[in-house]
Amino acid sequence: GTTAAALGSFDAQGVKEAIVRGVLAADARAKEMGDELGRA
């Protein structure tokens, strides 16, 4: 009951999409940092 209500609220506010965007941004930055280390 309470967990379902919270998850429904998260869906309504776009939390899943925000988390996905954050993970993609972190992945892109990790690749940039790897490239920088490769040039050092």
Find the domain containing 18 and state its range: 2-39
Contact 30, 38 (CB under 8 A): no
What proportion of the chain, given as a percentage, has pLDDT over 90? Answer: 95
Q: What is the end-to-end Cα distance of the chain in Å, rounded?
A: 53
Determine the pLDDT at residue 39: 83
Q: Give the per-residue pLDDT at 23.
A: 98
Whether residue 30 is predicted with pLDDT greater than 90 in this model: the reply is yes
Question: Can you give the pTM of this predicted structure?
Answer: 0.69
List pLDDT tens digits, range 3-22.
999 999 999 999 999 999 99
Using CA atoms, how far apart are residues 2 and 10, in angstroms rounded to an integer? 12
Give Cα separations from 14 to 6, 25, 28 (angstroms): 12, 17, 21
Number of domains into which the chain is organized: 1
| pLDDT at residue 5, rounded to an integer | 96
